[in-house]
Structure 1
Amino acid sequence: MSEYPRLLQTVLDTTDPRRLAEFYRRLLGLAYRPGDEPPADGAPEEPDWLVLRSPDGTNRLAFQLVDRLPRTTWPSHDVPMQAHLDLTVPDTGELARQRRRAEELGAELLLDRSDDPEEPLFVFADPSGHPFCVFVSAAP
């Protein structure tokens, strides 16, 4: 028995679980938990909970249906972000490539600090409005 609880996954609220799950599935190269995949026949669906896993089967992100989700006003604090995801890349070339990918997948650029010599980064909003950062980091 462990002395500490284990973090299973990070859960994001959304008014459209499939759309947000698809965004992160494609952005991060994740896969659906068995049974959470979109219907093969394209039938309409309204999932209220979906889980994405890494290739080794570890849960990473889950998406929970909510009726409404006020969009953060960051960098203003009228509606704070409360939490965000940090994603890292090894260099500025990859940072630029990931910016293009994120925007093609539906992310909105909120801040461009790619010229920062100490920590080049972009801050985006995902399709549900959750902020996330992509930055150059040498940390593992």
Structure 2
Amino acid sequence: MKKLQEFAKNYQAEMNWEIRTDNYERTRSSLLNNYMLLTTEVAEIAEELRKAFNHTNTLINDGMDEDGAFETAKDSFRENIGKELADCIAYITKFANYFEVDLEDSFYQKMEEVRNRKNKDVGVMKR
């Protein structure tokens, strides 16, 4: 993850896509804009899932068993979902780099926190 964050930092600088830091208003505006772009990418994941489920239902209606239909749909939409996930990671790393957050350390710390919760639901990841 550290290598990914470093790559993203350099790539975003090369593309002139960093969060602006000229002054408070530019920084605030840049952070909000990037947050909106991140939420757009998350919505695009949902759109790809919707397409995959619709494709699954079409295959089921054409006589394929549910599991086979879903596996076929997963194969068909894997690349697009991967691209949308990558877009999300790009924005998440941008925020992490701006706030000087080590995503790898934060991830493992958060997972340990969740593991040790007293009120956790079994089999469900909650924030």
TM-score (norm 2): 0.24
TM-score (norm 1): 0.23
**Bigger share in helix:** 2
**Bigger share in strand:** 1
Larger radius of gyration: 2
